[in-house]
Chains A and B, each alone.
Chain A
Amino acid sequence: MRHPRLFSLMAILLILAAWESVCKLLAIPDFILPTPVRILTVAVSQGALLLPHAGITALEVFMGILISLLVALPLSMAMFAHPSIENAIAPFLVASQAVPVFAIAPLLVVWLGYGIASKVLMAAVIIFFPITVSLLGGFKSCDREYRVLFQLMGAGFWKTMRLLYWPWALPHFFAGLKVGVSVATIGAVIGEWVGSQQGLGYLMIQANARLRVDLVFAAILWLSVMGVSLWVLVGLIEKKVITWR
């Protein structure tokens, strides 16, 4: 496979072409399944409608990422420094992922209202787990020989954290962050579905109720672009930060 990107682009185009052909051959109406061309047309022509909603969802996702980072970074360091904290918190961490976000979304809307706070928290809950677990795993994966070297050099925990554990765990952190940002939109959109007055999730519910399936798909397309862009952005930051690989 000499050109993997070209190959994946070809595969996507092939799927879209098949979709377009099936819709046209079977004369499927737009309110059941619109064609890719129709979706793309709506996504662009309805840009003025989609953009403000996308902005709100992006803000929720961005703030969710920020909050999850603010919690995940110190928490994973604390869990690494004190295994007793990890033992105490691990069951809650796992439970937070075992409960479907759909189950807690109505509660968050009741507690935090119809504004963006409940959606931000939903996104943060989803992103927080992969970042925390990956970072903790990264700290723990540090070779014993390096830890011994720092111990023999007389380095305390925080100096070792700064000079050894953090850089060591950075690839793990970025792997977790990539997973986190690519699913972050799920939390925000579910929150918007349950109760909101703006955002792409809200727009999807409204469009669906009016059988504007093409607009629903256009919103999904914007969400996908948002997720992929975040993923690419994290990848670029990773390349900039981790220069030694």
Chain B
Amino acid sequence: MLQVSGLTKRFGDLSVLDDFNLALPSGGFTVLIGPSGCGKSTLFDVLTGVVPKDRGEITWRGESVPHLGKKSAYMQQKDLLLPWFSLMDNALLPARIHGEDLTQSRTKASRLFRRLGLDGFEAYLPGTISGGMRQRCALVRTLMFEHELVLLDEPLSALDAITRRSLQSLLLMLQSEFDKSILMITHDIEEALLLADEVLVLSQPPMRILERFVLDGRKPRGLSDPQLIAIKEYVLNRLQEELAQ
């Protein structure tokens, strides 16, 4: 579905991406894991067109595009809910911006609110609810886009362990129920192993793929699985080696 080849991006003397390649299958859940500052977020910025690429090609469904732009939905680490809008109005933001029929969008948003456990909180302001609920609302807003690809940049990293666990289940639901393809950045190897179909371990900049693990499709997974424990240990060691270099 998405093919990235020879992607290169420099900031002055710092080469962040140098001939980076990536292939995403349709309907897959791919997780990028790597050291801080390795260029993961820059990759997303280049893919979405927030910053221009220096070189390389992005191919979407066989067609070369300058960037993904509105072809993907992007959810960042911060929920980025607008504090002056209610949760419902935040969820309706994409519809409002694109001038879509708000009645229809409201019906769709209400269904998502129910599905994500936010039923009854539609009129609340973001400042009055918990971080987990805010993140769920951000997820509703992301789902309001009819995009097949969802880019997630550490969407759960600011949350406590319990909230995080419940939101991980929601991310799995995102893939299965809503038929989305997901490319997610995380620092948490356990999260990667719980959610991903494919885990890509990344190097220090210029970023390249160090290791690639394809995990079986069975989900939800238990972290007591010996194979996952072995992968976790291996990845942690590999990242430590990378940081030591």
- Could you list which residues of chain A lie within 8 angstroms of chain B, going by C-beta atoms? 145-146, 148-155, 159, 163-164, 167, 242-245
Are A167 and B84 touching (Cβ within 8 A)?
A: yes
Can you offer 14 A-B residue contacts whose CB atoms are under 8 A?
A145-B80, A146-B80, A148-B50, A149-B74, A153-B98, A153-B145, A154-B69, A159-B97, A164-B82, A167-B82, A244-B84, A244-B125, A244-B126, A244-B127
Interface size class of B (residues with CB under 8 A): 20 to 34
Are B127 and A154 touching (Cβ within 8 A)?
A: no
Of residues 43 through 65 on chain B, the ones whose CB sits less than 8 Å from some CB of chain A are 48, 50
What chain B residues lie within 8 Å of A150 (beta carbons)?
97
Chain A residue with minimal CB distance to B127?
A: A244
In the docked arrangement, what's the CA distance between A155 and B76, Å?
18
With beta carbons under 8 angstroms apart, the residue of B80, B96, B98, B127 that contacts A149 is B80
B25 shortest CB reach to chain A, Å: 23
Are B97 and A153 touching (Cβ within 8 A)?
A: yes
What chain B residues lie within 8 Å of A145 (beta carbons)?
76, 78, 80
B93 beta carbon closer than 8 Å to chain A: yes
What chain B residues lie within 8 Å of A163 (beta carbons)?
82, 93, 96-97
What chain B residues lie within 8 Å of A244 (beta carbons)?
83-84, 125-127
What chain A residues lie within 8 Å of B145 (beta carbons)?
153
B66 beta carbon closer than 8 Å to chain A: no
Q: A145-B78, A243-B125 are in contact. List 17 more A-B contacts (CB 8 A).
A: A148-B50, A149-B74, A151-B50, A152-B50, A152-B69, A152-B70, A152-B74, A153-B93, A153-B94, A153-B145, A154-B70, A163-B82, A164-B82, A244-B83, A244-B84, A244-B125, A244-B127
In the docked arrangement, what's the CA distance between A122 and B96, Å?
42
User: Which 9 A-B residue pairings sit nearest by Cβ, starting from the closest?
Assistant: A244-B83, A167-B84, A155-B97, A244-B84, A153-B97, A149-B80, A154-B70, A152-B74, A148-B50
